[in-house]
Amino acid sequence: MTDWRVFKHLVRLLTPFRRSILAAVFLGFLTIGSSMALMGTSAWLIAKAALHPSIAELNLAIVGVRFFGISRGLLRYLERLTSHHVTFRLLKNLRVWFYQQLEPLAPARLINQHSGDLLTRVVHDIDTLQNFYLRVVAPSLVAVGITIAMLIFAGGLDLIVALALLLFLIVSGVILPIVAWQSGKKQGQTAVQIRANLNIELLDGVQGMAELLIFGQAQSYFAKIQTRNQDLIRQQHGLAHRSILQSGLGNFLVWLSIGVLLWLGIPRLDEIMLAPLALVTMACYEAFLPLGSAFQNLGSSIEAGRRLMMLVESDLSSPDPASALSPSNFDITFKHVGFQYGPDEPAVLRDLNLSIPQGTHIAILGPSGVGKSTLINLLVRFWDYQAGEIQLGGHALHDYSPEALRDLIAVVPQNPHLFNATIRENLLLAQPKATEEQLETVVKIVGLDNLIASLPEGLDTWVGELGHTLSAGERQRVAIARAMLKNAPILVLDEATTNLDAVSQQNLLKTVQLEMEGRTIIFITHEAPKGSWMTTVIRAET
């Protein structure tokens, strides 16, 4: 993805905020304009007063100094308030936009993405993009307005002076930022990549700390992190050195331009206007000096934007159908279905035919790797099959939108995810409007009622990150309760009771069977369930 394409996309993301951005740019223009007017008016007042004129000739300038002095501070406050408000709204919309683009891609497009890299994109890469507006877009537009104002001012004094000023402004506002961008582009992109890799390795270390300590690899891991950190610091030092050089060149151009303008203006201008010309020129550079450092960091913003867009631009997601379906039944049929996870991967399913009528309680048995979980991944459209067809209620799965399809199916995986919230909040994910009676019912069905009663805060007890305050079996019971609360016509239990003992597993499954009478249950397991509660058992083989 080219830099120009990323740049255009970032500009398009600013479109919803164009009015606020223009307001901030206008306030920025007025702020620097007030500073220029303050410096010019003050210089003219001092130069004129040296000639001992009547006080009446100075009254307007005196009022102007007071007005511009006060307005500059007020306008600066309003400009910062507006620009930061726009920036925070932009960051909020960027995160929401990124999640909305990312969510339909899970898990097929994200299966090879590291969680640490995703975290870096959501947090650091999006935060990096705030510089694109604050330090690139808005200041550049302000600089254009100030350039026009300065040319009008200098052109009213002398055309030669105005042309010389234009030359210096082009160097400061165009050439120097472009040079800064090109010189810092590689290091900015490298710094973004190193930061992403560092976050990946830090997350791996935190999650695998026990294994590192057990196998005596902690020191080796720390040395690796230290090396990566030093690489990032080295890139940041390089960017800082270039920023210092840009700042020095910018200040050199300020004084050089003032000297040249005075040299050109002394034989051409009224002596009273020499001081205003010099001080107004010096004040106008407030709009140009930050551009060098800003464009030096443009490479980081472009790379951050590229990392976001390369992830969400995927061809793996299927378009949603135009109309919603309301199936008359929930029969499931696999007809000659074939599937593989990648073009270079072996086929997981070949010419699979399977019929699961509505209300069937079916167990699918088999060792790991035969495609049991793949059936469920295809059924809920986490992936799309490449051959054959899967039908639900007589309609192909592709005729359903993913959201509508997943409303009909409740899935309990072997390792369910519990959020760092209360038991109640984790349950309400399935049915936000569930009543207290409904919560108590599902808790009793899965056998969590005694546990809940023993907790001081009951359902309002926090489960911690990934539910670590609960045992593995208790986490599975919470997940099953959540699925029961969803009240979907199809329930899938993918090794969902492996952390329970045989007696508890059998009792739980029998209770679930009674509650799901008339609805479909698909039980994925390595071993045949005890007893005869399943109406159908299918053995999957390689």
Query: So what's the pLDDT on residue 321?
Result: 58
CATH number at residue 396: 3.40.50.300
Shared domain check, 436 and 303:
no
At residue 522, φ and ψ (nearest 5 deg) are -115, 115
Q: Is 326 part of a structural domain of the chain? A: no
Q: What is the CA angle 439-360-474, rounded to 5?
A: 35
For residue 107, is the peptide bond before it cis, meaning its omega torsion is within 30 degrees of 0? yes
Strand ordering across the sheet containing 361-365: 409-412, 490-494, 520-525, 361-365, 536-539
Query: So what's the pLDDT on residue 264?
Result: 93
Shared domain check, 41 and 115:
yes
Domains in the chain: how many in total?
2
Q: Is 321 part of a structural domain of the chain? A: no
- Listed residues 282, 312, 342: the one ending a domain: 312
Nearest to 523 by CA among 487, 490, 500, 499: 490
Residues spanned by the domain of 418: 332-539
Burial of 6 (0-12, 13-18, 19+ CB in 10 A): buried
Q: Which two tokens stand for residue 177?
A: 């930022």
Shared domain check, 350 and 292:
no
Contact 284, 144 (CB under 8 A): no
- Listed residues 312, 341, 359: the one ending a domain: 312
Contact 542, 368 (CB under 8 A): no
190 DSSP assignment: H
Shared domain check, 367 and 299:
no
Nearest to 25 by CA among 172, 139, 177: 139
Q: Is 119 part of a structural domain of the chain? A: yes
CATH number at residue 285: 1.20.1560.10
Q: What is the pLDDT of residues 372-425, one digit of tens each?
A: 788 888 888 888 888 888 888 888 888 888 788 888 888 888 888 888 888 889
Query: So what's the pLDDT on residue 142?
Result: 93
Q: Is 24 part of a structural domain of the chain? A: yes
Shared domain check, 185 and 53:
yes
Query: So what's the pLDDT on residue 537?
Result: 60
Strand duo 387-392 + 520-525: pairing: unpaired
Complete DSSP assignment for 488-510 = -SEEEEESTTTTS-HHHHHHHHH
Q: Is 349 helix (H, G, I), strand (E, B) or coil?
A: strand
Show contacts of 185-190: CB within 8 Å, 24+ apart.
185/298, 185/299, 185/302, 186/299, 187/235, 187/238, 187/239, 187/242, 187/299, 188/239, 188/296, 188/297, 188/298, 188/299, 188/300, 188/301, 188/302, 188/303, 189/299, 189/300, 189/302, 189/303, 190/235
Contact 302, 186 (CB under 8 A): no
Query: So what's the pLDDT on residue 66?
Result: 93
Query: So what's the pLDDT on residue 316?
Result: 45
Shared domain check, 351 and 293:
no
Shared domain check, 275 and 353:
no
Q: What is the CA radius of gyration of the chain?
A: 34
For residues 397 and 393, give the distance between their C-alpha atoms in angstroms, rounded to a whole number: 9
Q: Is 342 part of a structural domain of the chain? A: yes
Beta bridge partners of 349: 339
Q: Is 324 part of a structural domain of the chain? A: no
Shared domain check, 343 and 261:
no
Query: So what's the pLDDT on residue 78?
Result: 94
Query: So what's the pLDDT on residue 317?
Result: 47
Shared domain check, 153 and 10:
yes
For residues 385 and 388, give the distance between their C-alpha atoms in angstroms, rounded to a whole number: 8
Q: Is 318 part of a structural domain of the chain? A: no
Shared domain check, 338 and 459:
yes
Has this prediction a pTM greater than 0.85? no
Q: How far is CA 420 from its chain centroid? A: 21
Tell which phi-psi region holds residue 326, choosing left (phi > 0), alpha (psi between -120 and 50) or beta: beta
Q: Is 327 part of a structural domain of the chain? A: no
Task: Pick out the chain residues at pLDDT < 50.
Answer: 315-317, 322, 532, 542
Shared domain check, 293 and 418:
no
Q: Is 374 helix (H, G, I), strand (E, B) or coil?
A: helix
Shared domain check, 15 and 65:
yes
Query: So what's the pLDDT on residue 45?
Result: 92
Q: How far is CA 1 from its chain centroid? A: 18
- Listed residues 312, 341, 376: the one ending a domain: 312
Contact 369, 539 (CB under 8 A): no
End-to-end CA distance of the chain: 41
